[in-house]
């Protein structure tokens, strides 16, 4: 008999509807689980048990009165610590925001709260979302629940860990170059990066504004659809938020893929991709074909230039976005005052970690006079080529399927001294952000005792097609029932 913390949001929602369990009982079960395993996992930066209990009590009152808001009412979740939460510390895992308490909630946070969810706390991450392992956190790394000697991925490693470890039923993360999908793959759960502009970024502390997107981390595809139903939609507070028709993504979760056209881009299966990972992804594609889908190899030639272009564009935008952290209005301020310039320099030196400093310097250089055209402008031109490659592919295919990560989760400390190897762990996910298209990672098996992720991509606002393909695959396999043992 599974424990409450092991159940999915859909399963718990049904139990709440049938009055078999209360939201407070679910919340207490999860809080007990957190107390048991958090010392091993290190997924949270801030826990809010009192907030969670009060919200659960309110949810139970609504349920008792027959006024349940929706399927997520009373479900405990965690929130990545780069989303503003009114009255709750928001650090971005950086010393420069160590004691920052926002005066407002981000839009995604508001929408989840208005849906009745229970907030357990804020999760660990790579500092300012810059990293692929959660080892860049100023507060220490999170661990992978499947093997605490390995990383959970990044930058949303804490959010992914909470779901995989039973410390939350679902979580919100953000994805700038794979920061939802790669941790989902490493931790054996489902992670969705929506189309750029589908989910409001208001209240998300910016890393690279043209790449960042908020999305859900869950145990199952249907749970992912439930969360996207809540957070998707236009927001006038975000100038990049798009006016699109409101949809019920759970309607796309049906076991029917007959005639679905699948493209298999050969560039995602080349050098650096573990043969065991490739084998499991191809096996998954074959299973979809057994259900009536049609797959064939295709090519996205510009993908080979994506990594270089991304690591010009993202640091350039970070250089601009992080200029606001100067020790004047909020956040850390050095005690060694030496005039305005000295204050700013010393504050930033004390507050930012090594990875953040490196990316700020790279970005500043790429944007500087005499180098802008050679680096930033050219990288944006490459980005256009990448987008065109995807557009061409989606004229022929409904979805593209690739590995999410070239390997399974690596060991803590294994790549910290090799920044190139660390960045190469995102080669399968970066192109999705560069093109602004949606992508989902879901489990497709295990290698070396660790989960392997399958990535499904679709054209802009093609989330329904992704849910259709992912749900059909998920129904034919046992991975959605797999739980880490801690």
Cβ pair 314, 208 in contact under 8 A? yes
Task: At 296, list the tokens.
Answer: 């064939």
CB 376, CB 366: distance < 8 Å: yes
Q: Tell me what pLDDT residue 162 has.
A: 98
Helix axes 221-231, 463-475, angle to 10 degrees: 160
Element (H, E) at 229: helix 221-231
Element (H, E) at 358: helix 354-367
Ranges under pLDDT 70 in the chain:
none
- Name which of 311, 335, 312, 315 is nearest 323 in CA terms: 315
Q: What is the model's pLDDT at position 231?
A: 98
pLDDT, residue 337, reads 72
**Residue 264 and residue 297 in contact, taking contact as beta carbons nearer than 8 Å:** yes
**Cis amide prior to 155 (ω within 30 degrees):** yes
Q: Which residues have CB under 8 Å from 76's CB, separation 6+?
A: 26, 27, 30, 52, 56, 117, 118, 119, 120, 168, 169
Residues 6+ apart with CB under 8 A from 271: none
The whole-angstrom separation of Cα 62 and Cα 43 is 30
How is the chain split into domains, by residue range? 4-259+442-451+468-481
Q: Which residues, 6+ apart, have CB-to-CB distance to 357 below 8 Å? A: 348
Could you give the CA distance from residue 152 to residue 184 in angstroms, rounded to a whole number? 8
Average pLDDT, the chain: 97
Classify domain 4-259+442-451+468-481 by CATH architecture: Alpha-Beta Complex (3.90)
User: How many angstroms from the chain centroid is the CA of residue 211?
Assistant: 12
pLDDT at 336: 82
> What's the alpha-carbon Rg for the chain, to the nearest Å?
21
Residue 229 has φ and ψ, to the nearest 5°, of -55, -35
Give the pLDDT of residue 424.
87
Q: Which residues are catalytic?
A: 80, 155, 179
**Nearest-CA neighbor of 456 among 252, 242, 200?**
252
Beta-bridge mates of residue 44: 123
In the numeric block, the tokens 């593209």 are attached to 400
Rounded CA gap, 180 and 279, in Å? 23
pTM check: above 0.85: yes
Identify whether the C-beta of residue 192 lies closer than 8 Å to the C-beta of residue 412.
no
Q: Which residues pair with 122 in a beta bridge?
A: 46, 79
């Amino acid at each position: 008999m599974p424990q409450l913390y092991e159940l999915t949001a859909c399963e718990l929602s049904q139990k709440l509807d049938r009055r078999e369990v209360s939201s407070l009982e679910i919340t207490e079960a999860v809080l007990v689980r957190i107390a048991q395993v958090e010392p091993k996992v290190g997924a949270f930066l801030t826990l809010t048990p009192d907030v969670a209990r009060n919200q659960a009590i309110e949810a139970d009152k609504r349920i008792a009165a027959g006024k349940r808001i929706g399927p997520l009412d009373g479900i405990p979740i965690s929130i990545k610590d780069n989303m503003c939460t009114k009255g709750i510390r928001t650090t971005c895992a950086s010393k420069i925001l160590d004691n920052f308490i926002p005066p407002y909630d981000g839009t995604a946070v508001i929408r989840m709260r208005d849906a009745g969810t229970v907030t357990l706390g804020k999760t660990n991450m790579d500092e300012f979302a810059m990293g692929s392992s959660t080892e860049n956190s100023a507060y220490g790394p999170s661990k992978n629940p499947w093997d605490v000697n390995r990383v959970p991925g990044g930058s949303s490693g804490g959010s992914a860990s909470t779901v995989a470890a039973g410390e939350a039923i679902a979580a919100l993360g953000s994805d700038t170059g794979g920061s939802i999908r790669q941790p989902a793959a490493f931790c054996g759960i489902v992670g969705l990066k929506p189309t750029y502009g589908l989910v409001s970024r208001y209240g998300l502390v910016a890393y690279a504004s043209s790449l960042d997107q908020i999305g859900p981390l869950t145990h199952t595809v249907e749970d992912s659809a439930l969360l996207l139903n809540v957070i998707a939609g236009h927001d006038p507070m975000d100038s990049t938020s798009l006016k699109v028709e409101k949809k019920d993504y759970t309607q796309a979760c049906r076991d029917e893929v007959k005639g679905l056209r699948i493209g298999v881009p050969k560039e995602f299966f080349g050098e650096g991709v573990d043969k065991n990972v490739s084998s499991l992804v191809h096996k998954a594609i074959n299973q979809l074909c057994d259900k009536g889908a049609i797959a064939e190899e295709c090519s996205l030639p510009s993908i080979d230039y994506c990594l270089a272009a991304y690591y010009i564009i993202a640091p350039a935008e970070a250089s601009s976005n992080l200029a606001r952290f100067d020790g004047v209005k909020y956040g850390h301020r050095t005690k060694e005052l030496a005039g305005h310039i000295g204050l700013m320099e010393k504050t930033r030196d004390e507050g930012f970690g090594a990875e953040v400093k490196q990316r700020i310097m790279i970005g500043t250089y790429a944007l500087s006079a005499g180098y802008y055209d050679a680096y930033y402008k050219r990288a944006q031109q490459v980005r256009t080529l990448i987008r065109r490659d995807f557009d061409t592919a989606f004229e022929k295919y409904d979805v593209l399927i690739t590995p999410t990560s070239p390997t399974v989760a690596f060991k803590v400390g294994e790549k910290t001294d090799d920044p190139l190897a660390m960045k190469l762990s995102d080669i399968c996910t970066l192109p999705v952000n560069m093109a602004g298209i949606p992508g989902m990672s879901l489990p497709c098996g295990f290698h070396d005792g660790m989960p392997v992720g399958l990535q499904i991509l679709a054209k802009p606002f093609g989330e329904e097609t992704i849910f259709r393909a992912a749900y059909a695959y998920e129904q034919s396999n046992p991975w959605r029932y797999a739980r880490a043992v801690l």
